[in-house]
Structure 1
Amino acid sequence: MKHLKTITIISLLSVALLSCKTGEKETKPNIVVILCDDLGYGDLSSFGHSFIETPNLDKLAEEGIKCTSFYSAAPVCSPSRAGLLTGRSPNRAGIYDFIPGPKKSEDCRDLVHLQAHEKTIPAMLKTVGYSTCLSGKWHCSSYFNSEKQPTPGYFGFDHWFATHNNAAPSHENPKNFVRNGEDVGQLEGFSCQLVVDEALNWLKEKEADNPFYLQVCFHEPHEPVASPQMIVDKYMPKAENENQAQYFANVENMDKAVGRLISYLEANYSENTLVVFSSDNGPETLNRYSRAKRSYGSPGPLKGMKLWTTEAGFRVPGVLYWLGKETFNGTSDAVISSLDFMPTFAEISGAKLPDVELDGQSMMPLIETGRMERIKPLTWAFYDAINERRVAMRTDDWKIMCSLKSEDTTMVRLHNIYDGNLPMIKNAEMTDFVLYNMKQDISESSDVSEEYPEKFEEMKELLKAEYGNLLDGSFVWNREKE
């Protein structure tokens, strides 16, 4: 009888524990994605910058998971953002380069936008009861805030406060924000702080007790850079000139905005909130175009910059911080990507993944143990790359790259795939392969294809298969079908 009573007590305790684990708040955490614009791998103090002070992000990295092999979906803004939202290579969505304004061009670039049929993270999370908000940069359409192309609201954001592309005329006192379809007019303050203001106001006014998905997309430190003078003055003794001091101050001001947001989350949502911080791509090259006069971003030890398929183009700082949940704590070199957000968020929320081919996978092994083996390699085909090797693939310790040649010459740089250039792309030869051991050579300084011939052949065949799959699934624009 005593034995039976013990079993009954244990059974009741087990049921109670199971109920706690499967309860609404436990299974559906709040999710916050913070995305910078053009932040370099080496721009945070915790990732090696000598001068820029980023104490809030450094604290997140110390208390959470510092991800040293975190990759964006592309080495430039629009495709990177589309990849994050959909969990698919942006090539599948037909977003191959940054999206300009709607100026008609032969290559149909003026048509490019995130199309209505694409399935996104906020839309997925709404199916399991989430409230959703976007605050900051959008840049997933050529016609912004227009009936001609879907707005952020169409893709599942209940509330959106956004700009088409950059804050204008600069980060200071921007006048091009739109809130839920209505022009806001000129605002006073700096963009990153205004974006956090909006996010905090939305959280404070949110009436329901349901979980939320909040996507905070800073303009910083993308040009045109503008920063609080007090912070600029602090960096003047350390900087080469005022423009560099402006850049350093820009990153610190962004960090201060992150600190405000995290403080509010810790005070109000500390029981179960996952925060993910990253950048859309690597740092801009100083003076690459006329307005890039303050682009002093750092690639750290990585090769290249924004618009390159070498590491600095899309290997970016990454931090995961889960309030209220015990996770791995420390630095992880596991290979992860913004493409992994959708499957991860589906797993932790109980949402059903969309019935489309995804290129990401759940990061839960990383979150729980600090380790993760990639089931599907990360593959990039960026046809407008500044470097000649336009196709790259990373899996585990290895990275392989190749050029595309058309009629024995390197294929011209392309902004878009449309019916007029598709035959050239389909017929391009993959050539000039190089192999890097990323564990031993983060700077991609030594091609080891001859040192590891078997691995080289294995990776070459895998890249051909993965690129072939990606090319077959890439969306092709056609003006006659629009």
Structure 2
Amino acid sequence: MNFKTINYFFLIVFMVSFSCKTKKYSKIKVGENQQEIVGQPNIIVLLCDDLGYGDLASFGHPIIETKNLDKLAATGIRFTNFYSAAPVCSPSRVGLLTGRSPNRAGVYDFIPGLKKSEDNRDLVHLQAYEETIPALLKSVGYATCLVGKWHCSSRFNSDKQPQPNDFGFDHWMATHNNVSPSHQNPTNFVRNGQEVGEIIGFSSQIIIDEAINWLDKKENTKPFFLEVNFHEPHEPIASPEELVAKYLPKAENREQAEYFANVENVDLAVGRLMEYLQKNHNKNTLVIFTSDNGPETFMRYNRAKKSYGSPGDLKGMKLWTNEAGFRVPGIIKWIGKDSYRGTSDNVISSLDFLPTFCELAGAELPKIDLDGESFVSIFESGNFERTKPLLWSFYDALNDQVVAMRDGDWKILCRLKNNGEYLPKIHNLYDGNEALVKDAELTDFVLYNLKNDLGETQEVSEKYPEEFKKMKILLNSEYAKLLADSHIWKRTQKFSKK
């Protein structure tokens, strides 16, 4: 065999090897009008409501027992720098589904029940043209299901706005916002457009029952996407009495014991689902557990009397642009795959779910710019190099700084001023305040190094002037682009379902 032949042989071997690697998550044609995806994983997102960064034992809680989630973290990936898309529920959920800042979709704050308001908040909903995870995965053969909380529209279960099925969910059983009257024996679930009536039991267990029933009945040949949106530990809290009794000796009072029991009840529900998956879908199932935002502040409103969530060592709470508002527990376990395991300090966001799931499933990405990035590399190497900063613009923040951005180890926050006056708290952007917000300038910047100062206790703009200058320039640029693409609600607009 001469030198030229040897070179040609090794070239062929390299090309075959490279082709196999690139087809790991790609489409392969198997017929004229049919496509099959090699290695499509089942994908499950488990999303808590108001669970704090410090509320799990594996994230430092000294009392609450979460043995199932701790096992998930110990055998999968435990993320210490995991972020939600917003520090409050509705925009966080919209960001997760779309892979884009919720401001682009026009969801700036939680969506209340339908009540006409001057700021057009009653119009707010996830709009039909938005491309979502379930719709994209459904396009490549996935069966899809939502159970739990929806909270992405002001008109729930109405033909006047899109509903979960309009965004790609084959099956859904959900509530508009919280369960009523509490987590125990809820009465306000809707299944595929039909009111269910009272269901005996606790919400976390009820939605796991629904998820398992759907999995048992779905077409077995299809991979699946399942979104499980727990109502816990959001108020109004109700927990099994045997769990409450367990925590009474360790808690400050009965209300705190009920909160602790509430979190453990979610853990027990997750444990039931994981046991089912190990028996029935143990070959290739990706499970992600996280929270929509940080913990509620005790007695921030009169029904928050059991809100004893923990931010851990982070500053702030839910509705803050400091870390506790949107840095949340993050756990990923890939059942049946020999992938990376351990604790990771890579910066990951729920905005990253859409591009990551699309890459794994072989689905085409939307033809618009995404704010999230695929973190598929982390499963092989344990590393993910983020190229885009994470930006939050929450005009109703409880702290003064309503805009925040993280880039690498640095985080910068600022306030907004228009004509020398700080902007008031704003729930929604509409034609009546568009100029006020768009003409505002970023001001009162503060800088933190999160690697050295997890609790944002030391402002370091003077200590690192060059870094401060770069971060200000980047924030001004990123915020300007986001603001230009932020949806403005106008009562004259016409909205339709798909």
Give me the TM-score of the superposition, normalised by structure 1.
0.96
Query: Structure 2 counterpart of 1:230, which letter?
Result: E
For residues 311-352 of structure 1, the C-alpha deviation after alignment (integer angstroms, 9 at most, x for no partner) is 000000000100111221111111110000000001000000
Aligned to 1:415: 427
The alpha carbon displacement at 1:368 in A equals 2.2
**TM-aligned CA deviation for residue 18 of structure 1:** 4.5
Q: Specify which of 145, 148, 155 is matched with residue 160 of structure 2.
A: 148
Aligned counterpart for 1:236 among listed residues 231, 248, 251? 248
Deviation string, structure 1 residues 178-203 (Cα, Å, up to 9, x no partner): 00000000000000000000000000
For residue 90 of structure 1, the aligned residue among 92, 97, 102 is 102
Q: Which one of 227, 230, 238 corresponds to residue 226 of structure 1?
A: 238
Cα deviation, residue 406, structure 1:
2.2
Matched, 1:44 2:56: yes
CA RMSD of aligned residues (A): 1.9
- Retained in 2: the 8 A contact 1:25–1:211? no
Q: Is the 8 A contact 2:107 2:428 kept in 1?
A: yes
Amino acid in structure 1 at the alignment position of 2:328: V
What's 1:127 paired with? 139
For residues 100-146 of structure 1, give each alpha carbon's deviation from its aligned partner in whole angstroms, at most 9, with x where no partner exists: 01100010000000011110000000110000000000000000000
Checking the alignment, whether the CA contact within 8 Å between 2:236 and 2:303 is kept in structure 1 is yes
Deviation at 1:445, TM superposition (A): 0.2
Other structure's SS at 1:97 match: coil
Query: Which residue, out of 336, 344, 356, partners 2:348?
Result: 336
The whole-number CA distance in structure 1 between the counterparts of 2:122 and 2:382 is 42
Equivalent-residue separation in structure 2 for 1:437 and 1:418 (angstroms) = 35
**1:207 Cα deviation after fit:** 2.5
CA–CA distance in structure 1, aligned partners of residues 37 and 268 of structure 2: 29
Following TM superposition, by how much is the alpha carbon of 1:264 offset from its aligned partner in structure 2, in angstroms?
Answer: 0.9
- The alpha carbon displacement at 1:270 in A equals 1.0
Q: Is 1:425 aligned with 2:443?
A: no
Out of 173, 180, 184, which is 1:168 matched to?
180
Residue identity matched to 1:352: E
The residue type paired with residue 97 of structure 1 is D
Q: CA deviation at 1:395?
A: 1.5
Give, in angstroms, the shift of residue 480 of structure 1: 1.8
- Residue 31 of structure 1 corresponds to which residue in structure 2? 43
Aligned to 2:83: 71
1:207 and 2:195 aligned: no
Letter in 2 for 1:373: E
Q: Deviations over 1:391-449 (max 9, x none)?
A: 00011111110011123232100000001101010111211101111100010000111
* 1:349 maps to which of 358, 361, 365: 361
Partner of 2:456: 444
Is residue 2:267 matched to residue 1:255? Answer: yes
Report the Cα distance in structure 1 between the residues aligned to 2:469 and 2:381, rounded to whole angstroms: 32
Count residues with an aligned counterpart: 475
Task: Give the drift of 1:208.
Answer: 3.4
CA–CA separation in structure 2 for the residues paired with 1:370 and 1:68: 13
- Distance in 1 (CA, whole Å) between partners of 2:335 and 2:206 is 24
C-alpha contact (below 8 Å) 1:335/1:395 kept by paired residues: no
In structure 2, what residue type is equivalent to 1:266? Q
C-alpha distance in structure 2 between counterparts of 1:139 and 1:188, whole Å: 22
2:310 corresponds to: 298
What is the distance in 2 between the residues matched to 1:346 and 1:35?
Answer: 19
Q: Secondary structure at the match of 1:302?
A: coil
Distance 2:456 2:231 in 1: 29
Residue of structure 2 aligned with 1:283, choices 295, 302, 306 = 295
The 3-state SS of whatever aligns with 1:59 is helix
1:110–1:365 Cα change, 3 Å: same
Q: Deviations over 1:148-193 (max 9, x none)?
A: 1111000000000000000100000000000000000000000000
TM-score (norm 2): 0.93
Structure 2 match to 1:272: 284
1:456 matched to which residue of 2? Answer: 468
Could you tell me how far apart the structure 1 residues matched to 2:391 and 2:130 are? 20
**CA distance, structure 1, for counterparts of residue 396 and residue 418 of structure 2:** 15
Q: Does 1:184 align with 2:231?
A: no
Distance 2:89 2:368 in 1: 23
Q: Secondary structure at the match of 2:172?
A: strand
User: What is the distance in 2 between the residues matched to 1:57 and 1:409?
Assistant: 47
CA distance in 1, matches of 2:20, 2:477: 44
Q: Within 2, Cα distance between the matches of 1:229 and 1:95? A: 37
Q: Which amino acid aligns with 2:270?
A: V
- Residue by residue over 1:181-231, the C-alpha shift from the partner in whole angstroms, topping out at 9 and shown as x without a partner, is 000000000000000000000000112311000000000000000000000
- Structure 2: give runs of 5+ residues left out of the alignment: 29-35
Using the alignment, how far apart are the partners of 2:448 and 2:385 within structure 1? 18
Counterpart CA distance in 1 for 2:136 and 2:409 is 32
Query: Take 1:369 and 1:18, find their aligned partners in 2: how far apart are those partners?
Result: 18
Unpaired runs of at least 5, structure 1: none
Q: Over residues 242-284 of structure 1, what are the superposed CA-to-partner deviations in whole Å (9 max), with x where a residue is unaligned? A: 0000000000000000011111111111111111110000000
Match of 2:31 in 1: none
Greater shift in the superposed pair: 400-409 or 143-152: 400-409
CA–CA distance in 2 between the matches of 1:366 and 1:411? 40
Q: Is residue 37–residue 361 contact of structure 2 (8 Å, CA) maintained in 1?
A: no
Distance 2:332 2:84 in 1: 15
Shift in Å, 1:26: 4.5
Give the % identical residues.
65
Amino acid at match of 1:145: N
CA contact 2:37–2:362 (8 Å) conserved in 1: no
Structure 2 counterpart of 1:269, one-letter code: H
CA contact (8 A) 1:114 1:141 kept: yes
SS in 2 for 1:326: coil
Say which of 378, 393, 405 aligns to 2:417. Answer: 405
Match of 2:33 in 1: none
Which letter maps to 1:354?
A: P
